[in-house]
Amino acid sequence: MSDTHDLLILPQSSNSLLIRSDAHSSLIARGRQAATALLSSRNEPLCLAAAMLNGAWGFIDQTGNFVVPPAYAWVGCFSEDKACCSTSADGDARPVLISWRFDHGMTAADGERFLFRYGQQPGVLPSNSLGYMNMAGETLVPPQFVCAEPFKDGIARVAVKEMSGTGFIDVGGRSIGGLEFDEAANFREGFAIVQVAGRFGAITLQGEYAVPPKYDYIWDFSGGFARVLVGEKVGFVNGNGELVIDPVFDAADGFSENMAAVCIERDWGYIDNTGAFVIEPQLWSAGRFRNGKSQVESWDSERPYWIDVAGSAVPATETESDDDLQLKEGLSRVQVGDFWGFQDASGVFVVEPKFRDAGDFSNGLARVKSREGGWGYIDQCGIVKIPCRFDNARDFVLAKASNADDC
């Protein structure tokens, strides 16, 4: 593979780094040789974490050694053995406005993850500086995007312009259906919602239109159907783009277990996939069915309760309690005053609160920030396994796994 995208860190000032192409970078050359040797010698799945040292990002293994040298302006996490990376701090950062109507986020070229919810949010993005690398630090897709996301099922969402030019690429960097959409949501159930000239449709994994861009709005596919907005009413289309349930509802949720919550005027009920009412509109709120039950509220109830598919009240199970601890690998991250520690399921501190910051446990280790300000990693007994020497650090993930939802 060509070395034209090798990187060299050049000091620019005490507070900044200039990272640029250099075919003779000995740092990257040594790093690639070490990474290749490491990858070929390991039989177990490789677990990596992004870490920053001296202002530049790279990837470490669970011994704390760099597998990909710290020579990047920014990196994402590995997903399906590829990681998004920024190879040039080109000084071209400037305020821009990105329109993103969907309830999803994209990682921008400055490393921030923006969640744009039905509106416009400002950001600061360098131009054309995101691409993708493999686990040896070799460039797979050259830097060319202003926004990019991790790969999932061999597809990544990217943007080549600030206000449009959004779409998808495959693992070879080839566009799927062209990077021509004004907006695009991630694929769900084999379809991605896209916007073209103010109208919304859906494309397939092959980049072809399943639903022509003619609706006022479309939500993600759920249970084989997608909600569509026609004027001020909501209906449903199938994967062939057919309007199978007329737009007669004032609001609606997606299908789950062959039922969808819909609203007529102010009352919620449930329909089946033919559009027939299974539970008549009479509720103040209604959720999605899961394991034959859904949480709802009636107009005269004091709190939410659970119903079955016939609309009869049923008791909640223990796992449906709202009071469950947010345990990650058996421990919960807890803050006491200015410091963080970890408790077990009984609420007993296994790791006393002594860290200035901390992340959840992931693949056996948790990132923690020492009182002196450096980041490192501890095990579930609180023993420091990787010293707190990094400027910044992220969770460990399996490099070949699909981590798109966690990056």
User: What's the per-residue H, E or C state across 318-335?
Assistant: HHHCCCCCCCECCEEEEE
User: Are 341 and 282 in a shared domain?
Assistant: no
CA proximity to 47, closest of 342, 355, 334, 361: 361
Separation in Å, CA 203 to CA 106, 157, 178: 19, 13, 11
Q: Is residue 292 part of a domain?
A: yes
For residue 38, tell me if it sits in a domain: yes
87 part of a folded domain: yes
Q: What is the pTM of this model?
A: 0.73
Domain boundary among 139, 167, 184: 184
Same domain, 169 and 111: yes
- Let me know: does 246 contact 228? Beta carbons within 8 Å: no
79 within a domain of the structure (yes/no): yes
The two three-digit tokens of residue 88, written as one number: 């040039």
pLDDT of residue 198: 87
> Within this chain, do residues 133 and 262 fall inside the same structural domain, yes or no?
no
Q: How many domains does the chain have?
A: 3
Using CA atoms, how far apart are residues 355 and 372, in angstroms rounded to an integer?
Answer: 10
Low-confidence ranges of the chain (pLDDT < 70): 1-44, 87-128, 162-164, 317-326
Number of neighbours of residue 304 by Cβ within 10 angstroms: 14
Q: What is the CA radius of gyration of the chain?
A: 24
Query: Last residue of some domain: 145, 167, 184?
Result: 184
Phi, psi of 34 (to 5 degrees): -65, -40
34 and 169 together in one domain: yes
pLDDT of residue 76: 85
305/156 same-domain check: no
- For residue 63, being part of any structural domain is answered with yes
CA distance 2 to 244: 52
The number of C-alpha atoms within 13 Å of 257 and in the hemisphere containing its C-beta is 13
For residue 347, tell me if it sits in a domain.
yes
Beta bridge partners of 365: 362
C-alpha to C-alpha distance for 138 and 141, rounded to whole angstroms: 9
Mark 219-246 as b/e (b = at least 16 C-beta within 10 Å): bbbbbebbbbbeeeebbbbbbebeeebe
Q: Which domain holds residue 342?
A: 332-398
pLDDT number for residue 334: 93
